């Protein structure tokens, strides 16, 4: 399962993961055009053995997300969904905080409850000593992941919560490289 599948990082994860043997690829995004675009692209990349399931979903909608997790067996979650454009999040701090933090909490809680094998957060280098709302929201997302990892460790559960930080990804929609 890839959240934020229509974004630049999420869509590349989709392309790369399709190279491995899997039965289903669940792609989730809250942007209809982005989800449509990656779904159409993936249709041309997959053979009939891989079922691609596109889901238009606001990850802050816990009940809908819970329904998805309960109905579809998920082994691995790549949580790439986030608002990552610093200027937009600075101008819309409530939306950035809501999306980045509450979506992460929901993903973690449902992964914990459903004993998902691996849950990976795609974070940002802006989470290191954050100086803006977006960075702070990503840092809080990391802390949420760490608390779930600690809880699973204490309870000796097999769910593995991990994270990776990306810097400016050239060609990504949030990169400042084209701006410079």
Give the tokens for residue 56.
């238009």
d(CA 5, CA 122): 12
CA torsion, points 125, 130, 131, 133, in degrees to nearest 10? 100
For the sheet with 24-29, list strands across it: 51-56, 24-29, 2-3, 76-79, 118-124, 160-166
Q: Is 59 helix (H, G, I), strand (E, B) or coil?
A: coil
d(CA 135, CA 68): 29
Burial 52-86 (b: 16+ CB within 10 A, else e): bebbebbbbeeeebeebbeeeebeebbbbbbbbbb
Which one of 84, 105, 126, 138 is the catalytic residue?
126
37 in catalytic set: no
**Residue in the block written with tokens 């690829």:** 25
Best CA proximity match to 158, nearest among 115, 119, 109: 115
Q: Which residues are catalytic?
A: 126
């Amino acid at each position: 399962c890839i959240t934020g599948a229509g974004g630049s990082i999420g869509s590349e994860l989709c392309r790369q993961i399709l190279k491995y043997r899997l039965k289903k690829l669940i792609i989730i995004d809250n942007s209809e055009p982005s989800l449509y675009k990656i779904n159409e692209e993936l249709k041309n990349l997959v053979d009939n053995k891989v079922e691609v399931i596109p889901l238009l979903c606001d990850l802050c909608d816990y009940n809908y997300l819970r329904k998805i997790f309960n109905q579809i067996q998920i082994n691995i979650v790549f949580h790439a969904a986030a608002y990552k454009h610093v200027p937009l999040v600075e101008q819309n701090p409530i939306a950035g905080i809501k999306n980045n933090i509450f979506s992460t909490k929901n993903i973690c809680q449902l992964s914990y409850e459903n004993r998902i094998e691996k849950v990976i957060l795609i974070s940002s280098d802006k989470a290191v000593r954050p100086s803006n709302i977006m960075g702070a929201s990503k840092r809080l997302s990391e802390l949420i992941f760490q608390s779930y990892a600690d809880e699973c460790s204490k309870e000796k559960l097999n769910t593995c919560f991990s994270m990776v930080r990306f810097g400016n990804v050239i060609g990504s929609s949030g990169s400042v490289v084209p701006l410079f």
